[in-house]
Amino acid sequence: MPDDFASRDGDTLDGSPLDDVAADQESRDARTETRSGRRATARRAGERKKPRWGRRILAVLLGILFLGVALVAAFLLFLNHKVESNVRHEALLPTPSASGSLGTDAEVLASKGMNVLMVGNDARPGDTVSRSDVMVLAHIPDDKSKVFLIHFPRDLWMDIPGHGQAKLNAAYAYGGAPLLVQTLQDKLRIRIDHVAKTDFEGFSGMVDAVGGVRVYSEEASSGQGTGYAVQQGWNDLNGKAALSFVRERYELSEGDISRGRRQQALIKALLMKTISPEVITNPLKIAEFTDAATKNLIVDNAMTTSFMREEAFALRNVRSGDVVFITAPYTGFGWSADGQSIDIVDEAGMADLGDAIRRSTLGDYKKSSVLP
């Protein structure tokens, strides 16, 4: 076969229609692979994009959470500022020298728990001298599981350091909170760690701030002169009615003792209302209550805002049944040499009470009682 034919034949074979078909098929395969690759790439890209929506949702949720935390923090800062601007500090505790032997008494120094004396001042507009109308010693065990509120009737006839015998509330009139603290420390042989005092208007404002309270009364009273009658059983009271409720004693069967039980009932009702969902979840009511509770509040110099905040947080799990009321022991009623109506102290019972406070065993104290 001639070479040129072979060459042409080879050329003819290389460029034959079969080669064209094969080339076309390869081109189509390439385009198909390209489209398939694009779709696969798109699918992979879509798969990568999906988590972005999750991240965006998470970012939004985190933003909302951050905003919520910021608002809560701002609200807490506002409350903290309100407390700091309202609360006043004074020297309400006796000096170490006034405490005498108690300052070195080993048993007193080893006392368990914390004792805070709460004083309600009965000062009215224009008064220059006033007596303490409410005297409640709060004992808080170290584990913060309960709160014991010990009410001391104002007419208890006791030894007032430097003034002889007089009604307990006279100690406040003679020497303010320091002398009242010294009087109770001497009688009970205990250490009182802190003092907080307010006036009755403060109680009234707190009641209104939480929208009123429901209080149980053991006795009815007509409310002569105040216009606020109280029935035996449950009563719904606003601030002014609550003030009338705790001031009444002349219509009650045991006078000052009965009034003390009314004061205990109001304190408990106010405490329970304050920690109720109706109040605790309402920022406006919390702010109003904080303002009312601290506007007329005076505390000892060691009771700082941070201390009060920490103690309040430590007591967050306390419930109604964990608040126990105790009335300081007395044997009956009588008259002083100068003709005053008095409550006679149960000396042995008072010694037992002091021992229970020091040992933080008030739960076993026989005079303990929980109000309805």
Please give the pLDDT value at position 8.
40
Architecture (CATH level 2) of domain 88-364 = 3-Layer(aba) Sandwich (3.40)
Please give the pLDDT value at position 283.
84
H or E, element range at 198:
strand 194-199
Q: For residue 120, which of 312, 264, 321 has the smallest C-alpha distance?
A: 264
User: What is the C-alpha to C-alpha distance for residues 292 and 208, in angstroms, rounded to an integer?
Assistant: 9
H or E, element range at 141:
none
Q: Tokens representing 302?
A: 């060691």
Tell me the domain boundaries of the chain.
Answer: 1-86, 88-364
Please give the pLDDT value at position 320.
77
Q: For residue 138, which of 169, 115, 154 has the smallest C-alpha distance?
A: 115
Q: Tokens representing 72?
A: 């809560």
Please give the pLDDT value at position 201.
78
Mean pLDDT in each 10-residue stretch from start to end of the chain (372 residues)? 43 47 52 54 53 62 57 58 83 80 66 92 61 88 93 94 94 93 93 90 88 94 84 95 89 88 88 84 85 88 88 83 90 93 94 94 68 46
Contact criterion met (CB below 8 Å) for 355 and 167: no
Please give the pLDDT value at position 370.
45
Q: Would you state the torsion angle of the CA atoms of residues 281, 263, 304, 172, taken in this order, to the nearest 10 degrees?
A: 160
User: What is the C-alpha to C-alpha distance for residues 152 and 135, in angstroms, rounded to an integer?
Assistant: 6
CB-based contacts of 84: which residues, under 8 Å, 6+ apart? 305
CB-based contacts of 75: which residues, under 8 Å, 6+ apart? 283, 287
CB-based contacts of 152: which residues, under 8 Å, 6+ apart? 135, 136, 137, 168, 184, 328
Distance of CA 11 to the CA centre of its chain: 102
Q: What is the DSSP string of 147-190?
A: EEEEE--TTBEEEETTTEEEETTHHHHHHHHHHHHHHHHHHHT-
